[in-house]
Structure 1
Amino acid sequence: MIRSTVRSTGMYLPERIVRNAFFEATLDTSDAWIRERTGIEERRFAAADQATSDLAIRAARDALDRGGLDAGEIDAVIVATSTPDLTFPSVATMVQAGLGMERGFAYDIQAVCAGFVYALANADAMIRAGLARRVLVIGAETFSRILDWTDRGTCILFGDGAGAVVLEAAEGSGDSADRGILGIDLNSDGRHRDLLYVDGGVATTGKAGVLKMQGNLVFRHAVEKLAKTAHLALDRAGIATSEVDWLVPHQANLRIIAATAARMDLPMERVVLTVSQHGNTSAASIPLALATADAAGRLQPGQVVVTEAIGGGLAWGAVVLRW
């Protein structure tokens, strides 16, 4: 059977580093307070002349270079983002143009922090259906553009960046020993939309709006749902939790990550952590973590990797793959 395997990863972080002390001048907060509650030490903010597509193109080029590919060998581009350059066209078509692609297709997916998991699932379906052989899957965000700088409960959490993965078709035997994507679980529940949302949009205010979050409730849902979705994806892959080599979670909050790992009986030594340097980069979070671990040589062929995320919607899910 056809499997969707990882050919390469790539990433891009804006140059501007924003440390926790940045917020002390305007908010009732401190470096110690932020570290204790979130695990975040710093994050990156895009320059004034950088849009989400600019970050995505840089990450895409990095992934292509690392995979020894040129843009003409890519059949499709999927970008997960909640902070597009424009209402339309999609960021993905801008990436397609920026890479010089003259063929294939491109589109965006919006599932907030769970966007990259949803995008992986879409790319896998495209590959298995024979609609594409190689798909460039990108998570890219400029969340610094939609933050309320007076709300210490949200503005300290988020950063900007982009990560990318090239998925390509490969033949597998159809069992859990195959390389590539082996199990997927996707979920959403629109009844909880008011827990995490942006208070603006084209059809309502005509403006982008700013992020609003009920942090305590989001935390409870995250701890409950993330381990469950990971277990469901593992069951569908036919893989036991004890076989997991790496958990690569959405990098939202260190306490959420630790609680999820504990519910999965995974030691923190088997969890990829980038939240301290990147903050919460929403849909870019998982691909940035994957690219960071890949570049460091931590992800080795044959290892089992679990990714999971939850975001506004609420939307959540997990993907299990063998590297």
Structure 2
Amino acid sequence: MNIHITGTGSYIPDTIEKNENFNQHIFLNSDGSSIDSSNKVIVEKFQDITGIVERRYAEPHLVTSDLGAFAAERAIANANIDPEELDYIIVAHNFGDVKHNTIQSDILPCLAARIKHNLRIKNPKCVAYDILFGCPGWIEGVIQANAFIKSGIAKKCLVIGAETLSRVVDKHDRDSMIFSDGAGATVIEATDNEGGILAHETVSHTLDEAYYLYFGNSNNQNLCRDTRYIKMHGRKIYEFALSHVPQAMKSCLDKSGYSINDVKKIFIHQANEKMDEAILKRFYRLYRTSIPDNIMPMSIQKFGNSSVATVPTLYDLVLHNKIENQSLSKGDVIIFASVGAGMHINAMVYKY
């Protein structure tokens, strides 16, 4: 018995927010003071560092669970299964359903229950729950589904990563330009086919690193001090990721029994283009070998950082030939990896 991803689906909103749209924003330092650069310079530096040119925002009438349901419908259709056969629906997110132009997160009931409701699944033995694990949430959900199926308590699981980060950003913070909205979904089940999930690795660094990403006040001191927005210590996250993610990836690959030369694709959380490239360099340096061409598909340039949605969305786009010069062939060994709030890191080796 091998555990495979048998169906994928994604939902990428139609609303495009380009970098030039931020030229009219009033960006401030964290202490509320003015920044000694024009918005044009701020945006240009941002693009140079992150690689982001544009990102997608959810339509005003939609919330995170809607996006997750749309992606789930496509994954279920792609897997060609009856949704009533699902044993688990696992939904990774960070902020629940936040309605447009509101500040309150809504997770009662949980998003997985809402998505199951939206899918009109009647089976009460289809258990629906959420996972809060930062950006690595979707990979961790797949790791849990893998364990459920291996243990015999499940046969088919639906794992979704969905987020509407545009609803929780501080428009006076330059980091707000990083975040975006979207959803990716996957059906996980046992098959007789070769390959599937070969190994996984998860670590949580919380002693000094727990609050590198956190909820904090707006940089605009005149706004309500009781309202919180997503905040991050970008330099600390960058250094943390470069120090720890490559090692987690190596540990996972070594457990799989495959060599670095067998790896055909690496799907890394789309957090920051330069950071992902640096992680890749350090990973290959651990094996004292060069980086193959075209090994790491990227979507951040057009879609931004949609947290838990970036990896499953990117995987779905590659499978459906929507990323230029990127494709997978049967038998390809690939690595999924992510890092995010907590600070959590995980990786998974998978044979397509």
Identify the match of residue 267 of structure 2 among 243, 248, 253: 248
Output the CA distance in 2 between the equivalents of 1:29 and 1:116.
34
Report the 3-state secondary structure (helix = DSSP H, G, I; strand = E; otherwise coil) of the residue aligned with 1:112: coil
- Report how far residue 35 of structure 1 moved: 1.8
In the alignment, which residue of structure 1 is the partner of 2:336?
307
- 1:149 corresponds in structure 2 to 171
For residue 6 of structure 1, what is the amino acid of its counterpart?
I
What secondary structure does 1:269 align onto?
Answer: coil
SS at structure 2 position matched to 1:270: coil
2:346 alignment partner in structure 1: 317
Does residue 289 of the first structure (1) align with residue 299 of the second (2)?
no
Q: From 240, 245, 260, give the equivalent of 2:279.
A: 260
CA contact (8 A) 1:81 1:109 kept: yes
- Say which SS state the counterpart of residue 162 (structure 1) adopts: strand
**Residues 27-36 or 92-101, more deviating:** 27-36
Residue 88 of structure 1, CA deviation: 2.2
- List per-residue Cα deviations over 1:155-187 (Å, max 9, x = no partner): 010000000111111247xxxxx4111110001
In the alignment, residue 179 of structure 1 is paired with which amino acid?
G
- CA distance in 2 between partners of 1:268 and 1:256 (Å): 18
Q: 2:44 aligns with which of 32, 38, 48?
A: 32
Deviations along 1:277-299, one digit per CA (max 9) or x if unpaired, are 11111000100110011111712
Most deviating of 127-136 and 207-216? 207-216
Aligned to 2:122: 102
What is the aligned partner in structure 1 of residue 3 from structure 2?
4
In structure 2, distance between residues paired with 1:67 and 1:295: 14
Matched residue type, 1:299 = L
Deviations 1:215-263 (A, max 9, x none): 1110001112111111111111111111100000000011111111112
Instruction: Give the equivalent residue in structure 1 for 2:182.
Output: 161
| Gap runs ≥5 in structure 1 | 173-177
Q: Which residue of 1 aligns with 2:139?
A: 117
How far off its partner does 1:147 sit?
A: 0.6
TM-score normalised by the chain length of structure 2: 0.85
Contact map agreement 1:161 1:281 (CA 8 A) in 2: yes
Q: 1:270 maps to which residue?
A: 295
Which residue, out of 98, 110, 133, partners 1:90? 110
Identity %: 31
The two structures have a TM-score, normalised by structure 1, of: 0.92
Q: Are the equivalent residues in 2 in contact too, given 1:6–1:180 (CA < 8 A)?
A: yes
Q: How much does 1:208 deviate? A: 6.9
- Counterpart CA distance in 1 for 2:82 and 2:21 is 40
- Per the alignment, residue 15 of structure 1 pairs with 14
RMSD in angstroms over aligned alpha carbons? Answer: 1.8
Work out which of the residue numbers 35, 38, 62 in structure 2 matches 1:50: 62
Residue 139 of structure 1 contacts residue 284 of structure 1 at CA under 8 Å; is this kept in 2?
Answer: yes
Contact 1:80–1:119 (CA under 8 A) maintained in structure 2? yes
In structure 1, C-alpha distance between the alignment counterparts of 2:172 and 2:75, rounded to whole Å: 37
Equivalent residue number for residue 279 of structure 1? 304
SS at match of 1:107: strand
1 CA distance for matches of 2:293 and 2:137? 24
- Are residue 140 (structure 1) and residue 162 (structure 2) matched? yes
Please tell me whether Structure 1 or Structure 2 has the larger radius of gyration of its CA atoms: 2
2:195 to 172, 175, 179: 179
Q: Separation in 2 of the partners of 1:231 and 1:212?
A: 30
Tell me the amino acid that sits aligned with residue 134 of structure 2.
V
Deviation at 1:209, TM superposition (A): 2.1
Give the gaps of 5 or more residues in structure 2: 28-37, 98-105, 218-223, 285-290
CA distance in 1, matches of 2:39, 2:184: 30
Whether the 8 Å CA contact 1:258–1:268 is kept in 2: the answer is no
Matched, 1:194 2:219: no
In structure 2, how many angstroms separate the alpha carbons of the residues matched to 1:305 and 1:83? 29
Alpha-carbon distance change, 68 to 171 in structure 1, aligned in 2, over 3 angstroms: closer
